Amino acid sequence: MSTIEDPDVIVVGAGMAGAAISFILARAGAKVVCLEQGPTIHATDHPTFSDDWEFSVTRDWAFTPNTRDMPYDFPVTTNGTFVPYLYNAVGGSTNHYSGFWHRLKPVDFRKGTEHGLEGTIDWPISYEDLSPYYDQNDADVGISGVAGDLAYPPRPHAPRMPFVAHGEYHNIIASSLERLGLHWWPADNAILTQDRGDRLACNSCGQCNFGCPRGSLGTATQAYLKPALAYGLDLRPGSRVTQITVDRSGAADGVEYLNLENGTTTRLQANLVVVACNGLGSPRMLLLSKSPQHPEGLGNSHDQVGRYFMTHGYRLADMWFDRPTGHWKGPFGAGPYCQEWYDTDLGRGAVNGITITFGGAWGPAISALGATTRTHPAAWGSGHRTDFEKRFDRHVFCAIQADDLPVATNRVSLDPDVTDSSGLSAAAVHYDLHPNTRRLLEFGSSRLEEIGREAGALSIDLQPMDEAFAQPGWHLMGTCRMSSDPSTGVVDAWNRVWDTPGLIVCDGSSMVTGGAGNPTSTIGALALRCAERLLADMGHRVTASPDAK
Amino acid sequence: MDVSRSDRGGAADASAPAAGFPHPSRPGYYGTIFSEDMRSALALFASALIPGEGAYPSAADAQVVRFVEERSSADDRARIAALFAQGVGESADAAKELARTLESDRPAEFAWIRDFVYHAYYASRRVLAAMADSGHEYHGAPQPLGYVITEAMLVPVVPRGSYTPTDEVSHVND
């Protein structure tokens, strides 16, 4: 790997966005240093080689950094309404995701026009602006699926491998949706079903969310970092940026970072700094970087940093059957999806819409514990064996996913008391479930029960929406959002921070709306578009869409 | 604010060498040692939760105690010691009674130890063998074997769905 002393660009964060930008810039000949506070994940680090793989979700492979509590994690405090999920490592949270691969739709970029509720504004770009980069990102990552979903604009330039095989649950649910006459489609997944270079086709092990040692899962590492290293990227794991530095004019001019392995602090200068630390980490980084020129933190002249946090309204459910579902094989969490109710219909008493996704999940231990919702664990004592047989190989994971509203008071700030292992303030998040989102989830719950009845489900356990309701915070969006006006966002249409020359923020925080689909595809596309503009501004050759590697 | 995490203490001296850099491959082995009394109590209690039946071993015979001991932090050890501070008794019936009492009086603590036991049990090779004998295809560690799926996957018979093009987006009240 190269060691670069005088980089053109410093990229902070090696998740999907940081990796994609690093790759595009390095390939064009720019000198790029990418700093990542987490470690490199080796194929043998994944817990799926061990019989106790399910237990790892309670420890070092927990989805939330607050449980993992590793020295390279940063804690996230909340008001108890959601559980923050993210992963700090080379490759970011794509080490720990299902690869469920949705795009936003054209209407998602125009929600300000459609209703403008709460803090909703239009994106400064359109679906058509981003579409070529979605295609490019698809080619780079490697997507399996079925072309032709009428719920999306045509995607003739987005390559698809044959779609991935699922357990028996796929056909059970698909048949039900078909009989009900509802929209459904087999999910696109960032999972290879054919070998590609040194990446092996999926072998249906069933547990993508614990990382993929075969390289089948389209992680940021597989798609971008590995080729970027070949182009001279200087990737530095275990490097925790403590602040973005600025020159006298207030322009970004570098970073200071801490080597978590030996404790040394390094000052690194560059004319361009890219922050790609996810929807919680990026606003935290900007707020940590206070200076006389930016007393409220970078990008925060209009008090916009950290606002409009969205995480998708989510209500999870387990559907129980008296026949095999094969939930423990095939991909994790990404089978058929239904977008019958994606678009706004005021008859539902709410704007925006939902996606309902069905998937496989977990093995025998978590089945015994009541699967995803843990609502009805297998009895202990003499009834355990019978109860276990009613649970294992008998459930289907269901997720009602609602398009959340951007609300100004749903906000990331710095925790005054809790710090990471280096003494840097934790991210503190206040999030209240908006009544509009709650109505969508309740509406979706009724529809899910209808689908379950048609499928012959014995019962459905829905995550209780009581006072303790805390939805999974898988998707961290909106907190340094794009805008066409500096007073309503943090970055412009090219991810340039409005009030800080030389500083880019690009990741889930850039998203203005979240749609009702998983965001990694959008994050990757935004990063490729951003990188292309950076190259043009730097005077480097703008390259055409890369061939699939 | 709900911190919901263990106390990490205050600010570290950034100039001091970091205390190692634990790697994620470490699945949580803390070198914690249980006393013989704790082992005995846990074995009785775990087998009250999951007794042996047919080809399936009891929790004790499935080496649940060893699993829990190997994966317990010092905090976990203290928590388990507190659970069994009054002893489990000498018999399976006494262990069942303790489980019933915990479940009703201290449900969060009961759920925690139950979850630990269930995880331990279904990671046991003896249990996996019993599952295989019962006709389950599941074989334990997902990798490197994976699974072969031969069933044909359905695709929509009648494609449905629509989207609103950018230039047709209008206000909901229009």
Residue A444 in contact with residue A341, Cβ under 8 Å?
A: yes
What local confidence, expressed as pLDDT, does residue B21 receive? 53
> How many beta-carbon pairs under 8 angstroms link A with B?
281
Q: Domains in chain A and their CATH numbers? A: 1-47+85-97+102-142+217-311+408-430+476-549 (3.50.50.60), 154-214+313-402+434-470 (3.30.410)
Q: What are phi and psi of A82, to 5 degrees?
A: -155, 160
What is the 8-class DSSP label of residue A491? B
What local confidence, expressed as pLDDT, does residue A545 receive? 41
Contact of A148 with chain B, judged by CB distance below 8 Å, is answered with yes
pTM of the model: 0.94
Distance between CA atoms of residues A123 and B164, nearest Å: 16
Residue A546, pLDDT > 50, answer: no
Distance between CA atoms of residues B18 and A346, nearest Å: 56
CA distance B158 to chain A (A): 8
Distance between CA atoms of residues B117 and B67, nearest Å: 9
The predicted-structure confidence for A79-89, as pLDDT tens digits, reads as follows: 999 999 999 99
Q: Please give the average per-residue pLDDT across A230-236, as a whole number.
A: 97
What's the mean per-residue pLDDT of chain A? Answer: 95
User: Pick from A59, A203, A423: which is nearest to B27 by CB?
Assistant: A59
Output the CA torsion A228→A234→A235→A239 (10° steps).
-160
Tell me the two tokens of residue A326.
């094969």
User: Pick from A45, A110, A126: which is nearest to B24 by CB?
Assistant: A45
Contact B27 A47 (CB under 8 A): yes
Residue A210 in contact with residue A48, Cβ under 8 Å?
A: yes
Q: What is the CA radius of gyration of chain A?
A: 22
Distance between CA atoms of residues A92 and A99, nearest Å: 13
User: Pick from A152, A202, A330: which is nearest to B163 by CB?
Assistant: A152
Helix, strand, coil content of chain A in percent (nearest 5) = 30, 20, 50
Interface test with A, best of B96, B112, B154, B171 (most A CBs within 10 A): B154
ipTM for the predicted complex comes to 0.93
Residue B89 identity: G
Residue A138 in contact with residue A548, Cβ under 8 Å?
A: no
Q: What are phi and psi of A77, to 5 degrees?
A: -95, 150
Contact A66 B50 (CB under 8 A): no
The predicted-structure confidence for A50-84, as pLDDT tens digits, reads as follows: 999 999 988 889 999 999 888 999 999 999 999 99
Task: Identify which of A530, A406, A492, A536 has the alpha carbon closest to the alpha carbon of residue A124.
Answer: A492
The predicted-structure confidence for A517-527, as pLDDT tens digits, reads as follows: 999 999 999 99
The predicted-structure confidence for B25-56, as pLDDT tens digits, reads as follows: 444 567 788 999 999 999 999 999 999 999 99
Residue A148 in contact with residue B159, Cβ under 8 Å?
A: yes
Q: What are phi and psi of B20, to 5 degrees?
A: 75, 180
Q: Please give the average per-residue pLDDT across A273-294, as a whole number.
A: 98
Output the CA torsion A125→A93→A435→A77 (10° steps).
-120
Residue B15, pLDDT > 60, answer: no
Residue A387, pLDDT > 60, answer: yes
What local confidence, expressed as pLDDT, does residue A540 receive? 67
Output the CA torsion A219→A230→A73→B79 (10° steps).
70
Residue A477 in contact with residue A501, Cβ under 8 Å?
A: no
Residue A507 in contact with residue A17, Cβ under 8 Å?
A: yes
Beta bridge partners of A443: none
